[in-house]
Amino acid sequence: MKYRFALLPVLLMFAVPLLSPADDSSELESAVRSMKPDSRFRHDPFILVALQEALAAKQEGGGGIGACLVRESTGEIVARGRNRQYAPYFRSDMHAEMDLLNRYEDSLRTVKGSGNPRQRAGLVLYTSVEPCPMCLTRIINSGVVKMYYAAPDPEGGMVHRMRFLPTFWKEATRGRDYAAADCSPAMRELAARLFRHGRIKTLGAIE
């Protein structure tokens, strides 16, 4: 019995940060709503869209990650996506980048000639968190040659480990730009907080 009580301070040590009011849902929502692009950082307008999607994902019960696809020449947002892995029902493939590319590719299925991946050359994918191995491979396969993420994911991200990709996939990244976004520290931090919040909610499940 006394061992149980002895564990209490240890458990509290872990529980207190998780219960921190700083990452309360309504606080995160107001942080996203009040966030404004900083003109010193060229990717801010698009990372903000990804953060808005991340917030929506979190509010729906998914992981707090969002993404958008942008036509580089005009700045037009051609598709948005968010983590739908846990809601409305469990789908292990529905990470934000997968949802985004599904939506974009589905939207093109009736457009003549749109199956040519080279037509993706003018598109830039922005995501709130560094893509995992599944999503990075999908992005490579999609033909999108530029991808920028806000928050790094040292544990699950694949972009900083691209050198470990199988040869075929590594070769396919040649000449492409997949990297950390040129976004403001405030946006990067908010992206990380939305991501952490989602992880806590799902008790550390993969997002």
* Shortest distance, position 98 Cβ to Zn ion, whole Å: 7
* Shortest distance, position 95 Cβ to Zn ion, whole Å: 3
Pick out residues in 81-120 that bind Zn ion (CB under 5 A).
95
Question: Which residue intervals of the chain are DSSP H helices?
Answer: 2-18, 25-34, 44-60, 96-107, 133-142, 167-172, 185-201
Q: Does 132 bind Zn ion (CB under 5 A)?
A: yes
Close Cβ partners of 123 (under 8 Å, ≥ 6 residues apart): 69, 70, 71, 72, 78, 144, 146
Which of 115, 119, 178, 169 lies closest to 146, judged by CA? 178
Question: How many of the chain's residues bind Zn ion (CB under 5 A)?
Answer: 4
Q: Does 67 bind Zn ion (CB under 5 A)?
A: no
Of the candidate spans 52-60, 111-119, 134-142, 159-167, the one that interacts with Zn ion by CB under 5 A turns out to be: 134-142
CB nearer Zn ion, residue 128 or residue 184: 128
Instruction: Kindly state the tokens that stand for 47.
Output: 């990372």
Q: Does 54 bind Zn ion (CB under 5 A)?
A: no
Asked if residue 76 lies in contact with residue 45, where contact means CB atoms within 8 angstroms, the answer is no
Asked if residue 54 lies in contact with residue 80, where contact means CB atoms within 8 angstroms, the answer is no
The CA distances from residue 106 to 101, 102, 118, 127, 154, in Å, are 8, 6, 17, 19, 32
* Shortest distance, position 153 Cβ to Zn ion, whole Å: 9
Of the candidate spans 1-9, 19-27, 135-143, 160-168, the one that interacts with Zn ion by CB under 5 A turns out to be: 135-143
Place of tokens 């405030």: 186
CB nearer Zn ion, residue 28 or residue 132: 132
Among 135, 150, 159, 194, binds Zn ion (CB under 5 A): 135
CB nearer Zn ion, residue 31 or residue 124: 124
Of the candidate spans 13-21, 51-59, 133-141, 161-169, the one that interacts with Zn ion by CB under 5 A turns out to be: 133-141
Footprint of Zn ion on this chain (CB under 5 A)? 95, 132, 134-135
